[in-house]
A and B are shown apart, each in its own frame.
Chain A
Amino acid sequence: MSSSKNKTTYERVVEITHVYLGPAADRFIDRQIENHLHKSPKSLTKNDLNSLTSWIKVIVSLICDDPDIVEEYIHELNRLTITKNNKKGI
């Protein structure tokens, strides 16, 4: 098994999404990247995370009636962004 350090940004986003959208996670993330960021999913970079997270928040709020779950999901995605930013700062 590959450690989380070796995973690409795309794989990490899908991994987090899998907890919320199960088998639909990769299709969902691919669609959001292609439709809103207009790029191929594999080419997702750390710089795209803020924009992607904002889109995901809007879309997931339409899918899920429970705001706590939406917040939790977005928090997980934001943690990914914060970690990247902190590393940048260090």
Chain B
Amino acid sequence: MLKEMNKYRPAIKPLLIGCLFIIFYILLIFFLPDHSNSQLMDKLTNLEYKEALFLVQIPAMIVWLLAFYAYSRLNSYAITLKKTPSYKALKTLSKGILLLALSMPISSILSRFLNLFEGYNQTFYHVTIIITNYINLFLPFAAFIIIYYSAKKITHRAQINYSLASSKFLILIYVVAGVIYSYETLKAFSGNSLISINNVYHLPVFIFIITILIPYLYSWFIGLTTSYDINAFATKLVGVIYRRALYFISLGLATVIISLIASQYVTTITPTYGHLAFNFHTILSIVFKVITGIGFYLLAHGANKLIKIEEL
């Protein structure tokens, strides 16, 4: 009985962590005082505002759970390959997915705390916004780097090397999106002051460019390269049944990475810092979250199929 429980522990533990994050976040929504300057605060009562916020955040919470589930399945798949040379690379890939899964609730929880200080302590509010911006950037950035290197190891082991450079169309899309993103974010800064922090990012423009803009663009490049490499690898691999299962993983990974990039794109161009608003930005954010959720589900589905191949 105890042995059986120990067998399922690695699969259940991540789901429990996801559930704890969700419970904690719901408690924060309903019990943490909200001092945000959202326009909806004037139209709704405090409880109505919190209920609306909860409803809008439901898709995000489902995505967190799916992300932890995807990590759990990928980790279980890596464990089935413990005696093979692919184990380390797959274990690292699952750690990257775990970091992505953790980055989502952590950013949302920080945004909730941010609203606690808004209107109370202005200095602390500035600092919290800056910290939130960096956490929103660096957790997924670190995850993308980990996923990138593990994907490289997997594709290198199979002696299949692909590069984004071979896809001129993808490079064109990346360059166009990058230029539009840079233009849209830099519009928020006043041209006559290089050191002013009087902008939505609460940072001087040159620090913003070096520590936010460039890392975001680099992180997206890494993310797109990984998606491309893994997809190319999955389509060229020998083994019809194995390839089909791996295809779900590559499709899921690409969907997660691209939807997260799109989500970051929207949230950094028009940052809301946890404020609730019923506008196009909110709808886009929900749509991207649903797509991310689908991506995590595909990832878990593919991992389940590969686990079957390795266990049955």
Binding site for B on A (CB under 8 A): 18-25, 27-28, 31, 59-60, 62-64, 66, 69, 73
Cα-based distance from A28 to B80 in the complex (angstroms): 12
Cα-based distance from A64 to B237 in the complex (angstroms): 17
Q: B308 near A: Cβ within 8 Å?
A: yes
The one of B84, B158, B309 in contact with A21, judged by C-beta atoms closer than 8 angstroms, is: B309
Contact check, B312 vs A62: say whether CB atoms are below 8 A apart: yes
Q: B281 near A: Cβ within 8 Å?
A: no
The one of B84, B86, B241, B305 in contact with A69, judged by C-beta atoms closer than 8 angstroms, is: B241
The one of B84, B240, B244 in contact with A19, judged by C-beta atoms closer than 8 angstroms, is: B240
Shortest CB–CB separation between residue A40 and chain B, in angstroms? 16
Shortest CB–CB separation between residue B312 and chain A, in angstroms? 5
Contacts of A27 in B (CB 8 A): 84, 310
Closest to B312 in A: A59
Q: B239 near A: Cβ within 8 Å?
A: yes
The one of B84, B244, B308 in contact with A62, judged by C-beta atoms closer than 8 angstroms, is: B308
Q: Determine the interface band of chain B, counting residues with CB < 8 A from chain A.
A: 10 to 19
Q: 8 A–B contact pairs at CB < 8 A?
A: A20-B241, A21-B242, A22-B242, A23-B86, A23-B158, A24-B310, A27-B310, A62-B312
Closest 3 CB pairs of A and B: A22-B239, A22-B242, A64-B241
Contacts of B84 in A (CB 8 A): 27
- The majority secondary structure among interface residues of chain A is helix
- The majority secondary structure among interface residues of chain B is helix
Contact check, B239 vs A20: say whether CB atoms are below 8 A apart: yes
Contact check, A22 vs B310: say whether CB atoms are below 8 A apart: no
Contact check, B240 vs A20: say whether CB atoms are below 8 A apart: yes
Cα-based distance from A73 to B242 in the complex (angstroms): 13
Most interface-central of A21, A25, A62 (chain B CB within 10 A): A21
Cα-based distance from A28 to B308 in the complex (angstroms): 10
Q: B126 near A: Cβ within 8 Å?
A: no
* A-contact bits for B278-312, CB 8 A (1 contact / 0 none): 00000000000000000000000000011011101
The one of B158, B237, B238, B308 in contact with A63, judged by C-beta atoms closer than 8 angstroms, is: B308
Contact check, B243 vs A63: say whether CB atoms are below 8 A apart: no
Contact check, A21 vs B241: say whether CB atoms are below 8 A apart: yes
Cα-based distance from A27 to B82 in the complex (angstroms): 12
Contact check, A63 vs B305: say whether CB atoms are below 8 A apart: yes
Contacts of B237 in A (CB 8 A): 22-23
Contacts of A22 in B (CB 8 A): 237-239, 241-243
The one of A23, A31, A62, A66 in contact with B239, judged by C-beta atoms closer than 8 angstroms, is: A23
Cα-based distance from A62 to B308 in the complex (angstroms): 8
Shortest CB–CB separation between residue A53 and chain B, in angstroms? 16
Contacts of B310 in A (CB 8 A): 24, 27-28
Which residues of chain B in 221-267 are interfacial with respect to chain A, using CB atoms and an 8 Å cutoff?
Answer: 237-244
